[in-house]
Every structure is written in C-alpha cells, then in structure tokens.
Amino acid sequence: MTANNPKATKLDPQWLANKTFDLYQSHGVPIEISEYLIEKEGLILDVDYLQKLIESHQTLSQSSSTAQFKSGLGSNSPKAIAMHTATHILHQVLRSIFGTQLHQMGSAILEDKARFDINLNSSDLTPETITNIEMQVQAIIDKHLTMTKIETTPDIAKGLDAIGLFGEKYGDKVTIYTLADGQTIYSREFCGGPHIENTNQIGKFQILKKKSIGNNLTRLDFVVSL
C-alpha cells in the first residue's frame, strides 16, 4: 500500500516519506537506514507523514509472515552486531528508568554508530539522566552475560515477558533472544538477530547525542568500543 500525496514534489519532505515507505514495503530496506541517508544529504523527511503511512499499512495488512523485531542492521560486522546487542540492553535500561510504556520506535545500526528511537520527550533526557543510563548499560555489559536464543510461539514469548516491536504483528513462530544471570533477566526480546555470544564482546558503551525527531519521539546516537 502506497498513499502518495499528488501535491508532493521530488525531494520535498512528503515525497521522501513516500519513497522511504516504498523502499521499506517493496524491498525491505529498513526505514532507519533511509532516514540516515536522507539526513546525510541535508534533506528533510516528514516523519509524521511517514508514520501515518506505516500505521495505515499495518492496519490493512493481513499478512501472516513471521515478522521479527527489526534490527535495522546495515552491516554484519562484529562492531555492528555488538551495537545491535547493545540496543537490547539500552532498551531494557530505558524501560527500567521511565516505565514499561516506553517502546523502541526504530533503530539503525551503521558502521560508525547506532541510532535508537524511543517514544519519549527529549527534555526528559537530562545530562545527568544520560550519564545514569550509560552507567547502567555498562554495568550489564560488564557482567559478561551469554546471549541465548529460542524459537517459540508469540503467545509463549509474551508469557515469558519478551518485548516485541510496538504495533507489530507476528506469525506462528518467533525468535527470542535473552540476556540473563540465573533468574535475573536483563533483556528478552523478539528479534531476528544476529547477536554476539557474550556481552564481553561489546566493550565500552557511550551515548553521543540525543535529538527530538517528532512529538514525544527522541533519537539516541551511541557507539561501542570493542
């Protein structure tokens, strides 16, 4: 489904939103990768209009494909995979601080950094809060936790309190990745992978910046050093 706006001209914010959605729907190009490239070229994307396209598509879609938690990986390098695992840890830490109403709204894993979008007002992320987040993420990394993977049904996964992509529809089988120490669960999410085997492969975690990308939407850029 493509809801093109006839008034949108090439390279204007709504045209770029339509193009981004078409690439996502037809070719599986992660939205976050398109966002990164658009911003890199100094162009502006109509994020609100893009979100409406996505929501309309989700409402109309009757597909039973085995949707996974979209990792947004642009590379399968060791560093990119380490940053992907770090997004899971970051997600859990943010939910522990701000509450379980917080959800990941997107991510992009690039060669030099990762991006993580959340439904949170950027003003809530004070410098002190960001430092606290970094410390909590690093503390989990330093536990040298082993990543485990299971395939199960969506209902069983939800019963295990696995976190899924907000608003996503899943098929008959899903993959769950878990970071745990005994009975203590540090992260458990629906995900298509890939992930590192142990958090000792992540190294140091650092948030580079925060950015408001819409109403109650914030983007965090971060890096890890292997």
Convert the pLDDT of each residue in 123-171 to its tens digit: 999 999 999 999 999 999 999 999 999 999 988 988 888 887 645 566 7
Query: Which DSSP category does 145 fall into?
Result: P
Residues 133 and 196 in one domain: yes
pLDDT at residue 151, rounded to an integer: 93
Residues 166 and 55 in one domain: no
Residue 107 lies in a domain: yes
- Which two structure tokens, joined as six digits, stand for 153? 């049904």
Residues 25 and 132 in one domain: no
Q: Which of 222, 214, 198 is nearest to 50 (CA)?
A: 214
The per-residue pLDDT for range 193-213, each reduced to its tens digit, is 899 999 999 999 999 999 988
Residue 88 lies in a domain: yes
Backbone φ and ψ of 78, nearest 5°: -55, -40
Residues 120 and 175 in one domain: yes
What residues make up the domain containing 198? 78-225
Residues 32 and 135 in one domain: no
CATH number at residue 204: 3.30.980.10
In the chain, the number of structural domains is: 2
Residues 52 and 82 in one domain: no
Mean pLDDT of 8-12: 65
Residues 52 and 88 in one domain: no
Residue 70 lies in a domain: no
Residues 125 and 201 in one domain: yes
